[in-house]
Amino acid sequence: MIFLVMTDLVAFSKAIADPTRWRIVHLAMDEALCVCELADILGMPQSSVSSHVQIIRKAGMLESEKCEKWTYFRIVPPHRRLLREMMKSFPAAEKTFARDAARSAKRLAKRENSCCPGPQRLASKSNASTP
């Protein structure tokens, strides 16, 4: 049984009711990413990605870590199981998710030499485990 306390079901629904936000949720499921990384992966302007991230954040779905001038975001552990189950229910999105995952891996391989220093606390894979 999935137990999830949500202060605002409408905000949660709104956060996943947009194709771009759904892609961001998928990308940030286990890997903490900053807005510039998400923008590169999605091929969108940072301002647009930032607006989408704020909707997801306001729904209480993101944990964050500030590193210098960058903020990294990842889905909070209590939401991961529910979101993974939801993603399984919509297999048509798998092609998009796979393409995004490939772009993410390519972008993260460049992280060390990019403008983004990378998260410290949220980089822990033990922190990323599925509850």
DSSP letter at 17 equals: S
For the purposes of burial, counting CB atoms within 10 Å of the CB of 38, is it exposed (0-12), middle (13-18) or buried (19 or more)? buried
Which residues, given as ranges, of the chain have pLDDT below 70? 1-7, 117, 120-121, 124-131
Q: Give the distance from CA 82 to its chain's centroid.
A: 14
pLDDT of residue 129: 46
H-state helical runs in the chain = 9-16, 19-27, 35-42, 46-58, 77-88, 94-109, 125-128
